[in-house]
Amino acid sequence: MNRHYAPASVQQAHDWVDQWPVASGSVELALHQAAGYLLTQSIKAATDIPLQAQCARDGYAVIAADTLGAGDYNPLVLRLTAADKTLGRGQAIQVSAGDPLPEGADAILSLSQAEPRHVMLDVSCSLAAGEGVLGQGEECQQSDILLAAGRRLRPQDLARLAFAGVKSVKVRRKPRVVLILAGHFIHDADGTMLSPLIARDGGELIGIQSATSRQTLDRQLTELDADVILVAGGSGYGHNDFAVQALHDCGEIGLDGVTIHPGGGVVMGRVTDKPVLLLPGSPLSCLCAYDLIAARLLRRMAAKSDPLPYCMQTFTLSRKLVSRIGQLELARMRIDGQFAEPLAVADDRLLSSSVRADGFTLLAENSEGHAEGSEVEVYLYDEYNQS
């Protein structure tokens, strides 16, 4: 292949990423494992919930009409009776939340609305029928949809399903990612960094492999079963860089380089129907290319709505921030109260800049920078965007 340095625009890179579909296929999970997954089928209630009327709070089951007119300055008196009796006029039964509603009762006084005195109960509040009661089918009625397909499952959703007797759910499986470390690494900095990032963005890392030769990488690109293949390292123009040639020969290169900095050496292509991203091996470039391109791809395939993995906040620039025209710059910033201070431009080579930084500002391709005192949007390294 005849390779010429001509990076694509950020828009072209985004268009390339956004062509890929959400990862298909579903998997059945026990409820306690399913938080955060997307439901792939709607779930209906098999019965009314609750099956019979219940007490919704601790307190005293009463006949609402017996409390008519009661108030702090006009307490009425009821007589306490045993829990297994049918409630008659003028009577009250002590109950717990979740108990079946005693026969004859139609409301529950809370503990702060009544005061027991031996076998009598001073009532200081007037109730309407149904107050403090959970009626049959009030949580849901038989055949109601408990949760609709496409729902991202929250802990309380799981409780709702458990409540309805559901044991497991079919959910969209996460995009399966294989990470290949290409080239000759002394220490696996990129693999160590990318593993938690892949999990953060909704991917399931199903394997980390190394490829120290062109032959190995060819075989991996052709044979590995995954939804996404990420290759870190070996994507440059040097004598040991074989990843681009391998991708070219085994599949197809889409975009060779993007006008982002750091991380502009990212290469995007495919093998059959699988997207393949070649990330620069230098850890800072790898991090930036991952956050701007690979994270967008994984988040898309995992059906997350926000393409950027970090939460954003606005700060005031404490000194001028200069940017080169022609590339999207990821300028690492330190935060101090309401102020953001750019790190020195020379730090562009240093992974330590992303360790010292609290986040980064994105400077568009056509931006020359911002003056001291301007408002800037900073993406915070410690606050991940879940949705």
Residues 134-163 that bind a copy of itself (CB under 8 A): 134, 138-140, 147, 152, 154-163
Near a copy of itself in 292-321, by CB under 8 A:
311
Query: Is the bond into 50 cis (omega within 30 degrees of 0)?
Result: yes
In 3D space, the residue among 83, 91, 103 whose CA is nearest the CA of residue 62 turns out to be 91
**Please, which of residues 354-383 interact with a copy of itself by CB under 8 A?**
354-355, 381-383
Q: Are strands 43-44 and 145-147 parallel, antiparallel or unpaired?
A: antiparallel
Residue window 159-188: x/- pattern of binding to a copy of itself, with contact defined by CB under 8 A: xxxxxxx---------------------xx
Q: What residues numbered 74-133 form the site for a copy of itself, per CB under 8 A?
A: 83, 94-99, 111-112, 132-133
Report the residue from 9, 36, 245, 253 that binds a copy of itself according to the rule CB under 8 A. Answer: 36
Nearest approach, Cβ of residue 19 and a copy of itself (Å) = 27
Cβ of residue 76: shortest distance to a copy of itself, in angstroms? 19
Q: Which of 27, 29, 35, 312 binds a copy of itself (CB under 8 A)?
A: 35
If the CB atoms of residues 254 and 281 are measured against a copy of itself, the closer one turns out to be 281
**32 binds a copy of itself, rule: CB under 8 A:** yes
* Min CB(304)–a copy of itself separation in Å: 11
160-166: which pairs have CB atoms within 8 A and are 24 or more residues apart?
161/31, 161/43, 162/31, 163/49, 163/139, 164/43, 164/45, 164/46, 164/47, 164/49, 164/140, 165/46, 165/47, 166/31, 166/43
Q: How far is the CB of 273 from a copy of itself (least distance, A)?
A: 29
Q: Which of residues 221-280 bind a copy of itself (CB under 8 A)?
A: 236-241, 265, 280
Q: How many helices (H) and strands (E) are present in the chain, helices listed first? A: 8, 26
DSSP character at residue 284: H
Helix (H) or strand (E) holding 322: strand 321-322
* Distance from C-alpha of 327 to C-alpha of 124, rounded to nearest angstrom: 71
Q: One symbol per residue from 316 to 345: x for binding a copy of itself (CB under 8 A), - otherwise; what is it?
A: ------------------------------
**Burial category of 373 from C-beta neighbours within 10 Å (exposed 0-12, middle 13-18, buried 19 and up):** exposed
Q: In the bound complex, what is the minimum distance in angstroms from residue 5's beta carbon to a copy of itself?
A: 4
Under the phi-then-psi rule, with left for phi > 0, alpha for psi from -120 to 50, and beta for the rest, what region is 69? left
User: What number of chain residues touch a copy of itself (CB under 8 A)?
Assistant: 77
Residue 274 exposed, middle or buried by CB count within 10 Å (0-12, 13-18, 19+): middle
Based on CB atoms, which residue is closest to a copy of itself, 303 or 351? 351
The span from the CA of 210 to the CA of 276, in Å, is 15
Contact pick of 61, 70, 178, 197 for a copy of itself (by CB under 8 A): 197
Minimum CB separation of residue 189 from a copy of itself in Å reads 4
Binding residue for a copy of itself, selected from 19, 42, 192, 222, defined by CB under 8 A: 192
Tokens of 114: 């009544």
* Cβ pair 87, 77 in contact under 8 A: no
- For residues 88 and 196, which CB has a smaller minimum distance to a copy of itself in the complex? 196
CB of 134 to a copy of itself, least distance (A): 5
Q: How far lies 307's CA from each of 116, 303, 311, 323, in Å?
A: 59, 10, 11, 23
In the list 102, 263, 283, 342, the residue contacting a copy of itself (rule: CB under 8 A) is 283
